[in-house]
Chain A
Amino acid sequence: MLAVLNLKVSYGGITAVKGVSFAIEQGETVAFIGTNGAGKTSMLKALARVLNEGTQGSIKLRGEEIIAMPPHHLIRNGLALVPEGRGVFARLSVAENLAMGAYIRNDRQEIAADLGRVYELLPQLRERHRQLAGTLSGGEQQMLALGRALMARPQLLLLDEPSMGLAPLMVNKVFETIRTVAASGVTIVLVEQNAKLALQTARRGYVMESGCITLAGSSSALLADPRVRKAYLGE
């Protein structure tokens, strides 16, 4: 699905990602864990091509090189990003936000059907569909951001810190939804500081430290690894 080779991201004189390589198979959920400043978000932004300058290396989406592809082409190729901090359109309603998610599509009937599916998956959005997105709670905004990304019918979904700033109960709900989406066949790359939850959700994971991948393995192996337990699980 996605093959990344020696990806480097630098801006403003610092190199945030110092050459990472990995591959993601169709249909799997893969977690990237690490502390603040490990380069996870920069890497994800580079994958989604929303970071313009300073990206080097190779990113292949289903065999096609996308490192120079503008993001509005990328999303047509099935790659969608849920940005860090959610990035909902605060002064648009929930329904309008979701409609914007289908910006690149013009199959109106299919869009309406997908909207129904998103509302089914996230019923609290249906209840609040006329409310302005900026007035939603953090968890609801995260759900909305997720729903909006799904409206583009992605095959590969990049999630940036979906648990950020959410109450524990809400975090569980968000991750439940992510599991449901994953079960429907969408490939997911999950960048997360909440290492435990991320590894419980993903099949396998990578640990990032100061711009490099330092550990890789199945989730159960990583969860059992003493280095991971010490550094990220607080043991």
Chain B
Amino acid sequence: MSQANKYYSGLAVLILSLLVLPFALSAAGTAWVRITNLAILFVFLSLGLNIVVGFAGLLDLGYVAFYAVGAYVYALLASPHFGLHLPFWMILPIGAGLAALFGVLLGTPTLKLRGDYLAIVTLGFGEIVRIFLNNLSQPINITNGPRGITLIDPVRLGSISFGRSDQFFGLVLSGPMKYYYLLLLLLSLVIVVNLRLQNSRIGRAWEAIREDEMAARAIGINTTRIKLLAFAMGASFGGVAGGMFSAIQGFISPESFVLTESVMILSMVVLGGMGNIWGVVAGAVLLSFVPEMLRYTVVPLQMTLFSRIVIEPEVIRLLLFGLALVLMMRFRPAGLWPLRARQREFHKQAAIK
């Protein structure tokens, strides 16, 4: 088989298994479909953060703020809270746009900061957004404070509601399964956009800024604009993920958007391999599933061994998480699947695309 044929048959197998996956998962319990959906959201978020951290090299510890913006935009525009019930295809772009605006808002004052200093400011930004959400219930009740927003509309496409089961051609699709397919569609879109971005003029400019900002400026890159673009694009992915999160969960509160979430998303990016799209996808999938699997294995295992729970699963989770990070830093400091495993063919005629 030729190289291209191999590639396409591999791709076909991948797509097919991804299409069948929810049926296999629902055999193990609907919970697993939900977990998979959340995992896809985290892939979304990681890919968004990867633009900022991996491509442009700007360390962002407040990324969850954009997730929150997207989630609250959806929740406010499609719930009884304001009595608004806009369709999801209208809200998602609004959420993405507003998140991008917040990205520029964060990017503008931090243009001259790098590394640790940028991390501190972004961390503060994430906290500010969360604290605002927590307190914007007075004097006008916008976010409903720590009680959060409930009864958020599920996604509706025509007469199909993603909140309940339906039958298509004899196949029963539960709500989470429908969300799975929608998320898969959005995800493939996001991955395509990311791949195109990486090899575009903008992607190269991000790489240049990451490698040496002074040199980037010297070769004529408008570093201000390109950096803000990274913040805005990364944030807009976060906004879309947030909107989907709202729709899937039906309930959101500021508690879902704490610092540890930012750290988790950053860990996914770093674990997978900063800058490499497939590495980031792998990192996000791994870090989303392994803790869930632990939850389902650690308790029964301890029950059979000691007939009681010796260590709480949550404790083991953090323990293993820490261990994994230490091992990774020791043996694969560039991530599981680092950038530059690829050696791009690059000949005379291949100038910037």
Knowing A93-B346, A96-B204, the reply to whether A102 touches B214 (Cβ < 8 A) is no
Which residues B181-233 have CB closer than 8 A to chain A? 201, 204-205, 207-208, 210-212, 214-215, 217-222
Q: Does B330 contact A (CB under 8 A)?
A: no
Q: Does A87 contact B (CB under 8 A)?
A: yes
Tally chain B residues at the interface, Cβ within 8 Å.
Answer: 27
Q: Does B343 contact A (CB under 8 A)?
A: yes
Residues of A within 8 A of B215 (CB): 83, 87-89, 145
Residues of B within 8 A of A93 (CB): 343-344, 346
Contact A129 B340 (CB under 8 A): no
Which residues B330-353 have CB closer than 8 A to chain A? 339-340, 343-344, 346-352
Knowing A50-B217, A72-B222, A89-B215, the reply to whether A115 touches B208 (Cβ < 8 A) is no
Contact B207 A92 (CB under 8 A): yes
Q: Does A8 contact B (CB under 8 A)?
A: no
Residues of B within 8 A of A67 (CB): none
Counting chain A CB atoms within 10 Å of each CB, which of B201, B205, B214, B221 scores highest?
Answer: B214
| Proximity string of chain A (114-127) to chain B, C-beta cutoff 8 Å, 1 when within and 0 when not | 01100100000000
Chain A nearest CB from B162 CB (Å) reads 42
Chain B nearest CB from A186 CB (Å) reads 16
Contact B218 A103 (CB under 8 A): no
Interface of B is mostly: loop
Contact B351 A91 (CB under 8 A): no
Residues of A within 8 A of B204 (CB): 96, 99-100, 103
Counting chain B CB atoms within 10 Å of each CB, which of A82, A87, A101 scores highest?
Answer: A87
Contact B350 A87 (CB under 8 A): no
Residues of A within 8 A of B205 (CB): 103
Counting chain A CB atoms within 10 Å of each CB, which of B205, B215, B347, B352 scores highest?
Answer: B215
Complex CA–CA separation, A103 to B219 (angstroms): 7
Chain B nearest CB from A80 CB (Å) reads 7
CB-based A-B contact count at 8 angstroms: 98
Complex CA–CA separation, A166 to B344 (angstroms): 29
Chain B nearest CB from A194 CB (Å) reads 22
Knowing A96-B204, A96-B344, the reply to whether A87 touches B351 (Cβ < 8 A) is no
Complex CA–CA separation, A99 to B199 (angstroms): 13
Complex CA–CA separation, A72 to B219 (angstroms): 7
Knowing A89-B207, A92-B207, A103-B204, the reply to whether A152 touches B219 (Cβ < 8 A) is yes
Knowing A91-B207, A95-B350, the reply to whether A103 touches B221 (Cβ < 8 A) is yes
Knowing A87-B215, A87-B218, A148-B219, the reply to whether A129 touches B201 (Cβ < 8 A) is no
Contact B218 A80 (CB under 8 A): yes
Residues of B within 8 A of A72 (CB): 217, 220-222
B208, B211, B214, B348: the one within 8 Å of A83 (CB): B214
Complex CA–CA separation, A115 to B346 (angstroms): 12
Residues of B within 8 A of A108 (CB): 351
Residues of B within 8 A of A81 (CB): 218
Q: Does A76 contact B (CB under 8 A)?
A: yes
Residues of A within 8 A of B217 (CB): 50, 71-72
Residues of B within 8 A of A80 (CB): 218-219
Complex CA–CA separation, A149 to B205 (angstroms): 16
Complex CA–CA separation, A115 to B205 (angstroms): 19
Residues of A within 8 A of B349 (CB): 112
Complex CA–CA separation, A31 to B221 (angstroms): 27
Q: Does A178 contact B (CB under 8 A)?
A: no
Contact A129 B214 (CB under 8 A): no
Residues of A within 8 A of B339 (CB): 91
Q: Can you name the residue of chain A whose Cβ is closest to the Cβ of B344? A: A93
Contact B207 A75 (CB under 8 A): no
Q: Can you name the residue of chain A whose Cβ is closest to the Cβ of B204? A: A100
Other contacts beyond A74-B220, A103-B352, A149-B219: 17, CB < 8 A: A48-B218, A70-B222, A75-B220, A83-B215, A89-B208, A89-B215, A91-B210, A93-B344, A95-B346, A96-B344, A99-B346, A99-B352, A103-B219, A103-B221, A111-B352, A115-B348, A115-B351
Q: Which 6 A-B pairs have the closest CB atoms?
A: A87-B215, A75-B220, A89-B211, A104-B220, A95-B346, A111-B351
28 contacts between A and B (CB under 8 A): A50-B214, A81-B218, A83-B215, A83-B218, A87-B214, A88-B212, A89-B208, A91-B207, A91-B210, A91-B211, A91-B339, A93-B346, A95-B347, A99-B346, A99-B350, A99-B351, A100-B204, A101-B219, A103-B208, A103-B219, A103-B221, A104-B219, A115-B348, A116-B348, A130-B343, A149-B218, A149-B219, A152-B220
